[in-house]
Amino acid sequence: MADTLTITDNRTGKSYEIDVTDETVRGLDLRQIKVEEDDFGLMVYDPGYTNTASCRSAITYIDGEAGVLQHRGYPIEELCEKSSYLEVAYLLVFGELPTGPQLERWVYDVTHHTFVHEDMKAFYRGFRHDAHPMGILLAGVGAMSTFYPDGKQIEDEEERYMAAIRLIAKMPTLAAFSYRHSLGLPYVYPDNDLGYAANFLAMMRRMTEIKYAPDERLAKALDVLFILHADHEQNCSTAAVRAVGSSQVDPYSAVAAGVAALYGPLHGGANEAVLRMLRRIEKVENVPDFLEGVKSREEKLMGFGHRVYKNYDPRARIIKKHVDEVLALTGDNPLLDIATELEKRALEDEYFTSRRLYPNVDYYSGLIYEALGIPSEMFTVIFAIPRTSGWIAQWMEMHGDSEQRIARPRQIYTGERDRTYVDVADREGPEKITGPPARRPVRARRGA
Ligand code: ACO
């Protein structure tokens, strides 16, 4: 028997049989459900898309109930243990782990596209010295579409490959330049002798050294963090890349939309917020008070909770292991004690367990970044580096999916209709607006 759903519309008494495929009904199948023949038909109201599948995807599998994450079928734990970030990036984009020669070619191509056009430096110089590096990165990625106009040829497989290579290769360079700009330091060019993560650390840190090679163990820890952040199916930024990409804009512009989405504190900005929260808590003894504040909804426990995971985020488990390793090399961080106590108490508290709130990937990642000497404004930027491979893989998948159309949700209109236009002189309201003009933010007032 075919899987179907029978719906009876109690407004009309009519019954409808709707196909169920992959435990999903097609939204458009509901449109036949009408009271009057000229009705629009039934729609689904789903703010935040909490129960809407927007695509079919074979890239990342998540079982949020069980805390499982797999890329192209491989468990994240195994990828972190055995693969490099670039290998995982290849896996995401092409669907298979690369053979030796394929990996060699991929690494060569990425390594030989890490330089950015010199004009990009001039573009970066236009930003205020204290501009947030994520704002700079966002603009830089958007600007790439003007540096590589051939990216617009999205039907050309070679151009799509080049866009993937360029985005993955140049993202660390743009990210490091954003950081150096915010410190007023000269930009450091990529070093082809270094691996992907080590090269990024070198571009952030190098000063007068002729050759700068970061500690291999720290570079490895960063590479694991890159793997952990590479893709996470239809999250806010990936959905943004797909939605913007569905207009058939070039991939650089689509990925810039992903960077913009990631900038938000509820998405990529969460680890920065976790460190701010831990600093505010100040000492372990203040943890119970802070948790009371969360329960009375005066505070939010940043780094906890996830739309999909209703169990321990498997990425948080892997990161937690690496926190200790990295801190053993770089020295203790008192914030770790606060974080550990906060997690322990929250996991014992019915308020959090009943809402199935567990640490997510961002709970511990900020502590590692801080130990690596990376300032908190850079955390989101560092998230964007590996997520680029996920964005581009999802963009490519969308491109090859004949069912995809331009993203264009519906709405339930709640405003007025058919009003009579009134000329400005005849509109009702106070004769004069008194009081000071709206205050501009302090930062905006400082500049010219
Ligand atoms: N602290 C306190 N309470 C929380 C938290 C939190 N971090 N997260 C959710 N809750 C509570 C909500 O208040 C709600 O309680 P209620 O039912 O009594 O009103 C309940 O848990 C369900 O939460 P929702 O907001 O419905 O969950 P949603 O799926 O919409 O939000 C989100 C998920 C945005 C991640 C949320 O948990 C959150 O804001 N967490 C903190 C920010 C964060 O760490 N973001 C990183 C996510 S991972 C990533 O983007 C890489």
CATH of residue 147's domain is: 1.10.580.10
DSSP secondary structure string, 39-108? S-------GGGTT------SSEEEETTTTEEEETTEEHHHHHHH--HHHHHHHHHHSSPPPHHHHHHHHH
Cβ of 300 less than 6 Å from ligand 1:
yes
Over the Cα atoms of the chain, what is R_g? 25
Establish if 399 belongs to a structural domain: no
Higher pLDDT residue, 16 or 1? 16
Mutate which of 274, 300, 310 for ligand 1? The one with the most ligand atoms within 8 Å of its CB, which is 300
Beta strands in 190-297 (DSSP E): none
Q: Are 174 and 127 in contact (CB under 8 A)?
A: no
More confident residue, 310 or 69: 69
Looking at the structure, do residues 344 and 250 belong to the same domain, yes or no? no
Averaged pLDDT for residues 292-314 = 92
pLDDT digits 0-9 by tens, 123-138? 999 999 889 999 999 9
What value does the mean pLDDT take over residues 342-355?
A: 95
356 close to ligand 1 (CB < 6 Angstrom): no
**355: CA distance to ligand 1 center in Å?**
9
The reply to whether 39 and 139 lie within a common domain is no
134 with 11, same domain: the answer is: no
Using CA positions, which residue lies closest to atom 30 of ligand 1?
307
CA of 306 to the centre of ligand 1 (A): 6
Task: Let me know if 349 is a catalytic residue.
Answer: no
Amino acid at 195: G
The answer to whether residue 430 scores a pLDDT higher than 80 is: yes
316 lines ligand 1 (CB under 6 A): no
Active site residue 267: yes
- Which residue out of 52, 302, 350, 357 has the highest number of ligand 1 atoms within 8 Å of its CB and is therefore the one to mutate? 357
Going by the DSSP 8-state scheme, the letter that residue 75 receives in this structure is: E
Tell me the HSE value of 69 on the side-chain side, using a 13 A CA sphere.
Answer: 25
Q: According to the model, what pLDDT value does residue 286 have?
A: 96
pLDDT, mean over the chain: 93
Ligand 1: residue of 267, 304, 353 to mutate (most ligand atoms within 8 A of CB) is 304
Q: Domain with 286 in it: what CATH number?
A: 1.10.230.10
CA-nearest residue for atom 13, ligand 1, is: 297
How high is the pLDDT of residue 311?
A: 86
- 383-396 confidence digits (pLDDT tens): 999 999 999 999 99
Closest Cα to atom 21 of ligand 1: 355
| Same domain flag for 241 and 290 | no
Q: Give domain status of residue 386, yes or no.
A: no
Which pLDDT belongs to residue 439? 66
**DSSP per residue over 121-139, as a string?**
HHHHHTS-TT--HHHHHHH
Q: Are both 160 and 291 inside the same structural domain?
A: no
Average pLDDT over residues 9-25: 97
* Residue 13 token pair: 């008494």
Nearest protein Cα to ligand 1, atom 15: 355
Q: End of a domain among 267, 284, 304? A: 267
Q: Which of 80-94, 174-188, 306-320, 350-364 has the highest average model confidence (pLDDT)?
A: 80-94
Is 438 domain-assigned?
no
| 119 and 183 fall within a common domain | yes
Residue 49 placed within a domain? no
* Ligand 1 atom 24: residue of nearest CA: 307
* Whole-number percent of the chain with pLDDT over 90: 81
Task: Please indicate whether residue 357, judged by its CB atom, sits closer than 6 Å to ligand 1.
Answer: yes
Is the minimum distance from the CB of 266 to ligand 1 under 6 angstroms?
A: yes
Q: How far is the CA of 313 from the centre of ligand 1 (A)?
A: 13
Say how many Å lie between the CA of residue 292 and the centre of ligand 1: 16
pLDDT at 445 over 70: no
- What is the distance between the alpha carbons of residues 93 and 79, in angstroms, rounded to a whole number? 15
Question: pLDDT tier at 62 (50, 70, 90 boundaries)?
Answer: very high
Answer whether residue 441 shows pLDDT above 80: no
> What's the average model confidence in pLDDT over 403-414?
96
- 259 and 328: one domain? no
Place of tokens 């243990």: 81
212 within ligand 1 shell (Cβ under 6 A)? no
What's the domain count of the chain?
A: 3
- For ligand 1, the distance from its centroid to the CA atom of residue 223, given in whole angstroms, is 28
For the segment 276-285, what is each residue's pLDDT rounded down to a tens digit?
Answer: 999 999 999 9
The atom number, within ligand 1, closest to the CA of 305 reads 37
Cα gap 280→282, rounded to integer Å: 5
What pLDDT does 427 receive?
A: 95
Expressed in angstroms and rounded, the spacing between residue 17 Cα and the centre of ligand 1 is 36
Tell me which of 229, 306, 322, 399 is the catalytic residue: 306
Residue 166 resides in a domain? yes
- Looking at ligand 1, which atom is closest to the CA of residue 236? 50
pLDDT, residue 433, reads 86
pLDDT for residue 446 is more than 80: no
Judged against a pLDDT cut of 90, whether residue 1 lies above it is answered with no
Asked if residue 324 belongs to a domain, the reply is yes
Confidence of residue 346 (pLDDT cuts 50, 70, 90): very high
Residues 39 and 87 placed together within one structural domain of the fold: no
Q: Which of 316, 349, 371 is the last residue of a domain?
A: 371
pLDDT band at 440 (very low <50, low <70, confident <90, very high): low
Q: pLDDT (tens digit, 9 = 90+) per residue, 214-228?
A: 999 999 999 999 999
CB of 342 within 6 A of ligand 1: the answer is no
Per annotation, catalytic residue among 71, 313, 362, 399: 362
The span from the CA of 392 to the CA of 8, in Å, is 42
What is the CB neighbour count within 10 angstroms for residue 70? 17
The reply to whether 227 and 283 lie within a common domain is no
* Residue 55 domain flag: no
Mark whether 71 is an active-site residue: no
Ligand 1, atom nearest to 235 Cα? 50
The pLDDT tens digits for 65-115 are 998 999 999 999 999 999 999 999 999 999 999 999 999 999 999 999 999
pLDDT band for position 304 (50/70/90)? very high
User: 281: domain range?
Assistant: 270-371
For residue 325, is it within any domain? yes
Same domain, 15 and 119: no
CB 221 within 8 A of CB 326: yes
Does residue 185 surpass a pLDDT of 50?
yes
Question: 221, 241, 267: which is the final residue of a domain?
Answer: 267
> Does residue 115 sit in the same domain as residue 237?
yes
103 Cα to the center of ligand 1, angstroms: 39
Q: Which pLDDT score is estimated for 41?
A: 97
Same domain, 204 and 177: yes
